[in-house]
């Protein structure tokens, strides 16, 4: 059996991951990645509780437990990336950057230096000879967030939950009597718990109020507190009362204006042709060709043709926001993707 270092976040998924590896006879060490510990006004960061929960599970399983402190690197490589992208008027995905820069780079390097042969995480995905494959549970599949990993990292990674559904994982947690069996899934910003993106960004960027304008009539419908807080297709948080719901169909960062429409068929809301930046390929399948693409987590895959950095979708998709990722699949294999421009 192998020496495996498991990333334990204090949640049920990583707890079951560790339990399964112990059950399989591996020499397991649990590691809590301390990526963020800063409290925000009126909002306490849950890192200490999560660390305590991870420790409790490690004690239950009888495995060694450590803390890796990546807070400095995380702030520089994930949080600052997220802030800069929002300030540029685009919509980033910090979970993808965290996987690229922290979990499958810093964590992997630290674990290997610690004597590990493999790392493991609680992601719902599968690997096979460095290939990234979709999970059994299509609803929980997390390959969308993992598409920027390297083949060399995947060759050193185990995803024990890849062949389980979320309900099955919950049952396994109960069967192993794990402390985290009933713990709810975390929501909100990935690294600060129950905090909305607007509240988080408000601590780091200075914004000016501006106008919310109806695209068709140019009529001013209301005020916003910063154009960077709004993303294409957004409906909630506009505070425009009465009649049909309005959707964000564009914004001008220079003028600090947000444009809205009640027309769900507005051409700005639908795109069939995407230009991709920062293309990343995992393994041998790469370059021009026919693929399936997912433009957001849990979105259905659609057929697409890639030519260079241009992605032509078989049918128009609603609100593919600049800054988000288009992830490419060849059958069950996630082969890479790029960031929507």
pLDDT digits (tens, 9 = 90+) for 121-153: 999 999 999 999 999 999 999 999 999 999 999
DSSP, collapsed to helix, strand or coil, labels residue 333 as strand
pLDDT of 137: 93
User: Which of 197, 222, 251 marks a domain boundary?
Assistant: 197
Q: Are residues 168 and 284 in the same domain?
A: no
Instruction: Round the average pLDDT of the chain to a whole number and report it.
Output: 94
Structurally, the chain folds into a number of domains equal to: 3
Residue among 170, 127, 167 at smallest CA distance from 146: 127
Q: Is the pLDDT of residue 233 over 80?
A: yes
Angle made by CA atoms 89, 90, 92, in degrees to the nearest 5: 140
Q: Is the pLDDT of residue 50 over 60?
A: yes
User: Which of 142, 165, 197 marks a domain boundary?
Assistant: 197
**CATH code for the domain of 139:** 3.40.50.620
pLDDT of 57: 98
pLDDT digits (tens, 9 = 90+) for 187-222: 656 555 556 788 888 889 999 999 999 999 999 999
Q: Are residues 306 and 328 in the same domain?
A: yes
Q: Which residue reads 């807080």 in tokens? A: 229
> Is 243 inside any structural domain?
yes
What is the enclosing helix (H) or strand (E) of 6? Answer: strand 3-7
pLDDT digits (tens, 9 = 90+) for 291-316: 999 999 999 999 999 999 999 999 99
> Is 160 inside any structural domain?
yes
What is the C-alpha to C-alpha distance for residues 142 and 280, in angstroms, rounded to an integer? 17
pLDDT digits (tens, 9 = 90+) for 285-295: 999 999 999 99
Q: Which of 45, 98, 134, 334 is catalytic?
A: 98
pLDDT of 39: 83
Q: Are residues 169 and 302 in the same domain?
A: no
pLDDT of 203: 87
> Is 114 inside any structural domain?
yes
Q: Are residues 217 and 181 in the same domain?
A: no
Q: Which of 45, 134, 190, 334 is catalytic?
A: 190
pLDDT of 188: 57
> Is 321 inside any structural domain?
yes
Residue among 224, 228, 249, 250 at smallest CA distance from 237: 224
Q: Are residues 13 and 134 in the same domain?
A: yes
Q: Are residues 218 and 169 in the same domain?
A: no
Half-sphere exposure of 51 (CA within 13 A, CB side): 14
pLDDT of 46: 86
Q: Are residues 105 and 35 in the same domain?
A: yes
**CATH code for the domain of 211:** 2.30.30.280
**CATH code for the domain of 327:** 2.40.30.10
Q: What are phi and psi of 43, to 5 degrees?
A: -140, 120
Average pLDDT value for residue range 271-292: 97
Q: Are residues 291 and 331 in the same domain?
A: yes
Q: Are residues 91 and 166 in the same domain?
A: yes
Q: Are residues 330 and 232 in the same domain?
A: no
Q: Are residues 44 and 169 in the same domain?
A: yes
> Is 93 inside any structural domain?
yes
* Buried residues in 216-250 as b, exposed as e (16+ CB within 10 A): eeeeebeebebbbbbbbbbeeebeeeeeeebbbbb
pLDDT digits (tens, 9 = 90+) for 4-20: 999 999 999 999 999 99
- H-helix segments, 218-285: none
Q: Are residues 239 and 315 in the same domain?
A: no
Strand order across the beta sheet in which 118-120 lies: 64-69, 27-34, 3-7, 118-120, 157-158
Looking only at the bridges linking them, the beta strands covering 157-158 and 131-133 are unpaired
> Is 202 inside any structural domain?
no
Residue range(s) defining the domain that contains residue 316:
270-340
Inter-CA distances, 55 with 6, 41, 100, 103, Å: 12, 27, 25, 19
Q: What are phi and psi of 273, to 5 degrees?
A: -120, 120
The question of whether 190 is a catalytic residue gets the answer yes
The question of whether 98 is a catalytic residue gets the answer yes
């Amino acid at each position: 059996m192998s020496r495996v270092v498991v990333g334990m976040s204090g949640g049920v998924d990583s707890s079951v991951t560790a339990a399964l590896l112990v059950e399989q006879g591996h020499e397991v060490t649990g590691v809590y990645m301390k990526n963020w510990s800063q409290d925000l006004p009126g909002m306490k960061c849950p890192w200490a509780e999560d660390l305590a929960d991870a420790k409790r599970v490690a004690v239950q399983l009888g495995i060694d437990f450590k803390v890796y402190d990546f807070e400095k690197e995380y702030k520089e490589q994930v949080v600052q990336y997220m802030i800069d992208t929002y300030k540029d008027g685009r919509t980033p995905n910090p979970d993808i950057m965290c996987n690229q820069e922290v979990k499958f780079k810093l964590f992997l390097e630290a674990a290997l230096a610690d004597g590990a042969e493999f790392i493991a995480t609680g992601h719902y995905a599968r690997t096979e000879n460095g290939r990234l494959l979709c999970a059994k549970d299509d609803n929980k599949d997390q390959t969308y967030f993992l598409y920027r990993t390297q083949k060399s990292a995947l060759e050193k990674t185990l995803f024990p939950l890849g062949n389980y559904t979320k309900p099955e994982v919950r049952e396994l947690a109960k069967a192993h009597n794990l402390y985290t069996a009933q713990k709810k899934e975390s929501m909100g910003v990935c690294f600060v718990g129950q905090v909305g993106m607007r509240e988080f960004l408000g601590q780091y960027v200075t914004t000016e109020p501006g106008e919310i304008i109806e695209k068709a009539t140019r009529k001013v419908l209301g005020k916003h507190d910063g154009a960077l807080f709004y993303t294409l297709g957004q409906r909630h948080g506009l505070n425009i009362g009465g009649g049909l719901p309005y959707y964000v169909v564009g914004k001008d960062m220079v003028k600090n204006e947000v444009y809205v429409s009640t027309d769900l068929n507005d051409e700005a809301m639908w795109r069939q042709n995407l230009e991709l930046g920062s293309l990343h390929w995992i393994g041998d399948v790469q370059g021009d060709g026919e693929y399936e693409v997912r433009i957001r987590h849990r979105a259905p895959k659609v057929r697409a043709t890639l030519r260079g950095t241009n992605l032509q979708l078989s049918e128009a998709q609603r609100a593919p926001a600049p800054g988000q990722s288009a992830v490419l699949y060849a059958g069950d294999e996630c082969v890479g993707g790029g960031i929507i421009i």
